Amino acid sequence: MSKESTYIPRNGFAKWFDQRLPLPRMLHDNISAFPTPRNLNYWYTFGGILTFCLVTQIVTGIVLAMHYTADAGLAFASVEHIMRNVNYGWLIRYIHAVGASMFFLAVYVHMFRGLYYGSYKAPREILWILGVIIYLLMVITAFMGYVLPWGQMSFWGATVITNLFSVIPVVGTTITEWLWGGFAVDNATLKRFFSLHYLMPFMIFGVVILHIWSLHVTGNNNPVGVSVKDKQDTVPFAPYYTVKDALSLVCFLILFAWFIFFNPNILGHTDNYIMADPLVTPAHIVPEWYLLPFYAILRAIPSKLGGVLVMGAAIAVLFIVPWLDTSKVRSATFRPLYKQFYWIFLVNCIALGYLGSQNPEGLFLVASRICTAYYFIHFLIVMPVLGLIEKPRPIPESITKAVLEKLEIKNSKEEAKA
Amino acid sequence: MSKKDTKEPSRRDFIFLATGAFAAAGAASVAWPIVDQMNPDATALALSKIEVDISQIERGQSITVKWRGKPVFIRRRTDEEIQMASRVDVNSLPDGNARNYNLTADSSATDENRALDDNKEWLVMVGVCTHLGCVPKGQSLGDAKGDYGGWYCPCHGSHYDTAGRIRKGPAAKNLDIPVAEFVNDNVIRIG
């Protein structure tokens, strides 16, 4: 969008159309001919995978809405109706339910890739912030979707999460009753969650367009983190990256299909196959796996208001990451210290996820407090300080040079073997 | 800019501001119904009073009834439970407020201020944990009742005593006591 157009209409009709609506030109410049760094690895294919996930969720969701009934008395039975009576209903519902997990799996890979290669650094701050907004919208959408089957986990998950708002001083109760449309989670709550769950994917779609627009203004970051300097550094998106994205997507779909066809319920919770009962709370309330780290943070803080604030801060801190990282070097490949802290941080996040699934007592509680503290230490102390004290390794002059050097090393190794 | 600031406001400036203010007021007046429609509706408000028959409840037994979509615990306490609750020093409680909507907002959390009747036999409270809204265990005979013999919330580990007061765990407040009264010896009205 910021570059000169390379589109040449092939025939008279194309020329006529281009002068009236340059849609083919936009697609040509931004998809087929879009100059992309030549050294992107497979971690860079998750943007495409995520687009696929969004479309899958929207398509299956629209179909499910044709058979689902958003009513506290009927919702649970209508989901069973989809599973038992609707043609291929079981398949469509499992794609949608497993699809949510796969969507989060892909988004976490995508985010951690950005953290490793410094994709949030200038000039990509807005690109990163838009990504965090998409993630936040995804969390809200997934939470509302989980309420719709109206099982025990749906109901009590909704109760616990909406009660988070009650910690707001003075107006807390008013806000929670406004969210519920009553004095507890009930029919009114279910209906509005359904309406918003249908709306939000389209909001996500809108922000995704802004995200891609911003990406196409700044251009892709790449594994060496050096900006594109001349034409030699790039290849056209098609066919180079369409093929690479396609291969990656197929591998992703194999895992996706394994869950759908062999273990569709492993990521869910059995309690959600019991209909919602407002008078009985299940023994263990846990969110879906992709929200467990935040749940661990919420429960690590011994005060109610504090827990909610710290959990909010855990997402809010992502917005300012571009300004917390003081290093001018983008890629962790050339940052010997940051690279180590990056892996510690990743392990810390996985540990938080595990702790979120356990009862917050004894050693688990101590561990979740340590991990919560480290989560913030990484962003607020490690990131700013490392940029000041770390001595980065020499950075390649250009993408092409980095690629050729790698090739030379590979060739000489092969020669030595021969 | 500075040159413009010193000028007298023109009629055009006035019209611009007046039009903007008019549009803003119009937008706000349309926005309010869209916000307010989400508040509890007439059917939710209509269910705000119930009457409960308590004639079948023996001492040491509890029942759970639904009021405004929430569980309400009604317990007829044993002498032992009443003694346990009365012995506690109010100043040592995490929440010293009675949280009783039948009393003034600053009433202290004594057992007298928690129980419904003068004999302190009847305890009526909203069975919703004041932490994040789970229903505490302790109504059924086999339930875990926590370290203080009252109720225990399994979600995040809050312990309530035999007067429904928070003693240990992440919850900050005692269980709420709703507006309630005896209609006669056998019926309690809640709400």
Catalytic residue numbers of B read 156
pLDDT in tens, A223-267: 999 999 998 999 999 999 999 999 999 999 999 999 999 999 999
Average pLDDT (A33-45) is: 95
Question: Please, are residues A413 and A347 in contact by the beta-carbon 8 Å criterion?
Answer: no
Q: What residues of A are in contact with residue B70 (Cβ under 8 Å)?
A: 183-184, 278
Q: What residues of A are in contact with residue B142 (Cβ under 8 Å)?
A: none
pLDDT of residue B2: 52
pLDDT exceeding 90 applies to what percent of chain A? 83
Task: Name the H helices within B37-110.
Answer: 42-46, 79-87
Residue A340 clears pLDDT 90, i.e. is over it: yes
Average pLDDT (A338-359) is: 95
Contact B44 A278 (CB under 8 A): no
A186 touching B, CB under 8 A? yes
What are phi and psi for residue B65, nearest 5 degrees?
-120, 160
Q: What residues of A are in contact with residue B44 (Cβ under 8 Å)?
A: 181-183, 186, 188
Lowest mean pLDDT among A88-102, A227-241, A348-362, B38-52: B38-52
Average pLDDT (B10-19) is: 93
Q: What residues of A are in contact with residue B155 (Cβ under 8 Å)?
A: 156, 160, 281, 285
Q: CA of A73, closest CA in chain B: separation in Å?
A: 14
pLDDT of residue B118: 87
Q: H or E element: which one contains A139?
A: helix A125-147
Contact B171 A285 (CB under 8 A): no
Query: Global pTM?
Result: 0.90
Q: Can you say how many angstroms the Cα of residue B3 is from the centroid of all Cα atoms in its chain? A: 60
Contact B132 A302 (CB under 8 A): no
Residue B145 clears pLDDT 70, i.e. is over it: yes
By C-alpha distance, the chain A residue nearest B68 is: A183
Residues in chain B: 191
Lowest mean pLDDT among A285-299, B141-155, B176-190: B141-155
By C-alpha distance, the chain A residue nearest B169 is: A302
| Cα separations in angstroms, A227 against A273, A342, A399 | 52, 22, 8
Q: CA of B7, closest CA in chain A: separation in Å?
A: 39
Average pLDDT (B56-66) is: 91
What are phi and psi for residue A254, nearest 5 degrees?
-65, -45
**Contacting A residues, span 132-161, partner chain B, CB-CB under 8 Å:** 156, 159-160
Joined tokens for residue A154: 């749906």
Contact B157 A360 (CB under 8 A): yes
Contacts of A390 (CB under 8 A, 6+ apart): A327, A335, A336, A337, A338
CB pairs under 8 A between A and B: 84
Question: Please, are residues A220 and A30 in contact by the beta-carbon 8 Å criterion?
Answer: no
A326 touching B, CB under 8 A? no
Task: Tell whether ipTM is more than 0.85.
Answer: no
Joined tokens for residue A257: 């299909």
Q: CA of B44, closest CA in chain A: separation in Å?
A: 6
Q: What residues of B are in contact with residue A280 (Cβ under 8 Å)?
A: 135
pLDDT in tens, A160-194: 899 888 888 889 889 999 999 998 999 999 999 99
CA torsion, ordered B155, B157, B88, B121, to nearest 10 deg: 30
The mean predicted confidence, pLDDT, of chain B is 89
Joined tokens for residue A40: 């992107």
Contact B69 A185 (CB under 8 A): yes
Contact A159 B134 (CB under 8 A): yes
